[in-house]
Amino acid sequence: MERFKKFVRISFFILLIVLASLGVGLSGGVPIPFSNKRRQESEIKIELKKEDKDENKKDTKQFKW
């Protein structure tokens, strides 16, 4: 009876490994998470400089894309 329990336990373990490998093979595995730093740095800042000849002032405007 003890050998039978050991056989059932090992065969169940092997069955679980086979099922897990089939599941990973079908679904493609776990995706790698991306960091948020790349997504936050994707903003492009463009400055528009305008010169007035009369007052010699520089106005700076920022546009976010």
- For 59, half-sphere exposure in the C-beta direction (CA atoms, 13 angstrom radius) is 6
The domain limits of the chain are 1-27
Instruction: Give how far Cα 21 sits from Cα of 14, 24, 29, 55, Å.
Output: 11, 5, 10, 74
pLDDT tens string, the chain, 65 residues long: the values are 999 999 999 999 999 999 999 988 887 777 777 766 655 556 677 777 776 665 554 555 665 66
Instruction: Give how far Cα 1 sits from Cα of 12, 56, 61, 64, Å.
Output: 16, 98, 83, 74
In angstroms, the CA 33 to CA 55 distance is 53
